[in-house]
C-alpha cells in the first residue's frame, strides 16, 4: 500500500502531463495495412444484444447491419424504401397497408426473398408462443398476408398514423424458422438476413464478426469486414481505443472528451431523443399537489446537471418530444438554470410554509417524498442525487433509494422514479402509453396514473389523423398540457458520444434513440465507411 501510493501519484502526473493516456499508445499493436478497398472496420460498444433475431427484439428500428426492413431510415431519420420497392401505400380508411417487394433480393444463404418471409416475420412476432416483447407495439395488426410473392398486405384493427414507422423490423427467412421453437432457435445466434453484412461469427461477450454481402441489393459495402467488439467496461473501452484497437467506440462523455485534443481522433457527440426525468406519481400525497410538482420543475438546475454530470454533452429537457423533432413545441422551454425564488414563491402561495428543520409543510404534512432509481445505473443515481440536492434548496426533502427493478415495480404508484425513454421517430411511440389515462397504473406505461382529458384527446388525435399539420397541432396541445401539469420532471436529453479515428470517412450522425448498440449507433451506415 505504502509502496503503491507514490507510484500511482506518479502515474497521474505523467498521464496528465502527456495529455491523458497518450502513453498507453506506445503499446498500440501495429495493425497491418490492408490493400485499399479490402478493409476491416472495428467498432466497440457496451451494448451487446442477447440475440440477433429481429423477431426477438434485435435492431427493431432498422440499421441492424444484418437485416433489412420493408422500409429504412436515411441520415435525417426520414423513411425510405428498404425491401419494399417504394414506400408502402395506406388505404383511404387507414386500415389496409400494401407493400410491393423489390425484385431479386437474396438472403445471405442464396435463397430469394418473397412476401411469405415478410408475412412470416410479422406473424412470428404476433404468435403468443414466441417470447417477443414487440407484440404490444404491433397491437393494431389484425393480419398479415402474402397474396402473391411480391406483395404483402397488412390489415389493421384501427387506423394508426405512424404505422409505416413500424415497418423497419428486419425480415427473417421463413424456411429457416418455420416450425421451430423461435425462442431457442440456432438462428438467433447465427442469423441469415438480407442486409449489407452476413454474420461470420459471434462470440458473446467478446465480438461479432461481419463480412460484406457481395450481393447486397443496395450495392456491395465499401469495406470487407466489420468487427463489433463488446467491451462492457467503459474504462477498458477507452483504454483500448487509445491503444488503437478500434476505429470507433462509444464512450461516456467524460472519457470521450479526453480524446478531443489529439489530432488522430475525432469526437462525435450525437443528438438523441434519449431523455431522463423523474416520474411524479399522483398517488403520492405530497406529489399530488401540482404546486409541489411545478416548484420542483423550477428548482432543478438542468444546466448544472448537463455540465457536472454529463460533462457538457447533453441538453436540458422540458418535455418528451426532443427539440430535434419537427413536432417539438418551442413554447414549453423554460430556464435551464434553477429559479429558487420563483419556486419558493410558488410554494409559499400554495400554503407550503418552511418548518423549523428547513422542510416545508402544509396542514402538518411535510414536503417529503422518496425518489427511486435503478441501483445499477450510475447516471440515474447521479441525477437522482442532483434532484435531491436541488429540492433541498427550496425546502422539499427527497429521500433517494437505489433499488432493483423488481423492488421498484410495486412502489411506482406512490414513489417517484428516475426514468429514461425516448425515440426520435414518432411522438406517438412512447408518449401514448406513457401519458394516456388508458394505461394508468399499468406496469411501466403510466405508473404514476396521470390523467388528463386534454392529453388523452390530443394523443388520440395524433395517432388517428394522417394529416401532418393536424398531428402537429395535436402534439403541441399535448406538450403544453404536460408542461402545465408536470407529471414528469424532465431533466436532460443525453448526447451519445463516440470517438473515431480521424481517418474514418463517410460517418453521418443521425438523431439516436434510447436503445442503441450493434444496431442504430453511429455506425448505422458503416457499409459506406472508408479510410482516407
Binding mask 117-156 for another protein (x = CB under 8 A): -----------xx-x-xxxxx-x-----------------
CB of 374 to another protein, least distance (A): 10
Phi, psi of 309 (to 5 degrees): -95, -40
Subset of 251-270 contacting another protein (CB under 8 A): 252, 254-255, 258
203 binds another protein (CB under 8 A): yes
Among residue numbers 428 through 457, which ones bind another protein (CB under 8 A)?
430, 433, 442-445
Contacts with 316 (C-beta within 8 Å, 6 or more apart), sequence order: 302, 303, 306, 333, 336, 491, 492, 493
Closer CB to another protein, 235 or 353, in the complex: 235
> At its nearest, how many Å lie between another protein and the CB of residue 509?
22
Length of the chain, please? 532
Q: Which of 19, 27, 264, 335 forms a contact with another protein (CB under 8 A)?
A: 27
Residue 404 CB, nearest approach to another protein (Å): 6
Q: Out of 74, 214, 232, 467, name the contact with another protein by CB under 8 A.
A: 232
Q: Show the DSSP H helices in 32-100 as ranges.
A: none
Which residue among 95, 155, 190, 207 contacts another protein (CB under 8 A)?
Answer: 207
9 or 220: CB nearest another protein = 9
Chain positions 496 to 515 lying near another protein, rule: CB under 8 A, are: 514-515
Q: How many residues bind another protein (CB under 8 A)?
A: 103
C-alpha cell at 74: 436515411
From the CB of 257, what's the least distance to another protein, in Å? 9
Interface segment toward another protein; rule CB under 8 A; list 17-25, 93-101, 106-114, 484-492: 17-25
The answer to whether 233 contacts another protein (rule: CB under 8 A) is: yes
Nearer to another protein, 63 or 386 (CB): 386
Give strand pairing partners of 227.
42, 209
Q: Are strands 368-374 and 416-421 parallel, antiparallel or unpaired?
A: parallel
Spatial separation of the C-alpha atoms in residues 45 and 516, rounded to whole Å:
9
Stretch 365-404 residues interacting with another protein (CB under 8 A): 373, 375-376, 378, 381-382, 384-386, 388-389, 398-404
Secondary structure in 3-state letters for 126-184: HCCCCCCCCHHHHCCEEEEEEEECCEEEEEECCCCHHHHHHHHCCCCCHHHHCCCCHHH
Binding to another protein, residues 48-87 (CB under 8 A):
50-51, 56-57
Q: With CA atoms as reference, report the closest residue to 42 among 221, 229, 191, 220.
A: 229
The string of DSSP letters for 272-335 reads EEEEEEEE--TTSTTTTSHHHHHHHHHH--HHHIIIIISTT-EEE--SSS-TTSTT--GGG---
Amino acid at each position: 500500500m505504502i509502496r503503491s501510493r507514490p507510484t500511482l501519484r506518479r502515474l497521474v502526473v505523467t498521464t496528465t502531463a502527456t495529455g491523458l493516456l497518450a502513453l498507453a499508445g506506445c503499446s498500440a499493436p501495429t495493425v497491418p495495412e490492408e490493400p485499399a478497398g479490402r478493409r476491416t472496420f472495428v467498432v466497440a460498444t457496451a451494448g451487446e444484444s442477447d440475440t440477433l433475431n429481429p423477431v426477438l427484439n434485435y435492431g427493431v428500428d432498422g440499421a441492424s447491419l444484418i437485416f433489412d426492413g420493408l422500409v429504412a431510415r436515411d441520415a435525417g431519420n426520414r423513411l425510405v424504401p428498404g425491401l419494399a420497392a417504394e414506400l408502402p401505400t395506406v388505404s383511404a380508411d387507414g386500415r389496409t397497408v400494401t407493400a410491393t417487394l423489390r425484385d431479386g433480393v437474396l438472403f445471405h444463404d442464396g435463397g430469394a426473398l418473397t412476401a411469405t418471409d415478410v408475412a412470416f416475420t410479422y406473424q412470428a412476432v404476433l404468435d403468443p408462443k414466441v417470447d417477443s416483447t414487440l407484440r404490444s407495439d404491433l397491437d393494431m395488426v389484425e393480419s398479415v398476408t402474402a397474396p402473391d410473392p411480391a406483395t404483402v398486405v397488412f390489415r389493421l384493427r384501427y387506423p394508426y398514423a405512424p404505422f409505416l414507422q413500424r415497418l423497419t423490423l428486419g425480415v427473417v427467412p421463413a424456411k429457416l424458422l418455420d416450425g421451430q421453437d423461435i425462442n431457442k432457435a440456432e438462428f438467433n445466434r447465427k442469423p441469415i438476413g438480407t442486409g449489407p453484412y452476413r454474420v461470420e461469427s459471434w462470440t458473446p461477450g467478446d465480438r461479432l464478426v461481419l463480412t460484406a454481402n457481395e450481393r447486397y441489393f443496395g450495392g456491395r459495402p465499401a469495406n470487407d469486414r466489420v468487427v463489433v467488439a463488446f467491451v462492457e467496461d467503459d474504462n477498458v473501452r477507452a483504454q483500448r481505443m487509445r491503444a488503437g484497437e478500434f476505429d470507433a467506440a462509444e464512450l461516456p462523455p467524460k472519457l470521450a472528451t479526453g480524446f478531443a485534443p489529439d489530432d488522430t481522433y475525432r469526437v462525435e457527440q450525437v443528438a438523441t431523443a434519449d431523455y431522463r426525468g423523474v416520474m411524479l406519481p399522483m398517488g403520492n400525497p405530497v406529489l399530488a399537489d401540482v404546486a409541489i410538482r411545478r416548484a420542483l420543475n423550477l428548482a432543478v438546475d438542468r444546466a448544472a446537471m448537463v455540465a457536472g454530470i454529463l460533462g457538457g454533452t447533453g441538453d436540458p429537457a422540458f418535455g418528451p418530444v426532443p427539440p430535434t423533432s419537427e413536432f417539438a413545441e418551442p413554447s414549453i422551454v423554460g430556464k435551464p438554470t434553477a429559479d429558487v425564488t420563483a419556486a419558493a414563491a410558488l410554494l409559499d402561495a400554495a400554503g407550503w410554509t418552511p418548518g423549523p428543520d428547513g422542510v416545508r409543510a402544509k396542514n402538518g404534512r411535510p414536503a417529503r417524498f422518496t425518489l427511486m432509481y435503478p441501483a445499477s445505473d450510475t447516471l440515474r443515481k447521479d441525477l437522482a442525487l442532483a434532484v435531491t440536492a436541488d429540492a433541498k434548496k427550496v425546502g422539499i426533502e427527497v429521500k433517494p433509494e437505489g433499488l432493483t427493478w423488481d423492488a421498484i415495480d410495486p412502489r411506482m404508484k406512490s414513489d417517484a422514479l428516475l426514468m429514461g425513454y425516448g425515440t426520435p421517430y414518432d411522438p406517438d411511440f412512447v408518449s401514448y402509453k406513457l401519458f394516456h389515462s388508458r394505461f394508468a397504473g399499468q406496469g411501466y406505461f403510466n405508473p404514476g396514473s396521470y390523467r388528463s382529458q386534454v392529453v388523452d384527446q390530443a394523443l388520440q388525435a395524433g395517432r388517428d389523423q394522417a394529416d401532418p399539420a393536424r398531428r402537429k397541432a395535436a402534439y403541441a396541445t399535448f406538450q403544453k398540457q404536460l408542461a402545465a401539469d408536470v407529471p414528469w420532471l424532465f431533466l436532460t436529453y443525453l448526447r451519445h458520444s463516440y470517438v473515431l479515428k480521424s481517418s474514418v470517412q463517410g460517418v453521418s450522425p443521425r438523431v439516436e434513440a434510447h436503445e442503441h448498440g450493434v444496431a442504430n449507433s453511429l455506425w448505422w451506415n458503416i457499409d459506406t465507411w472508408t479510410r482516407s
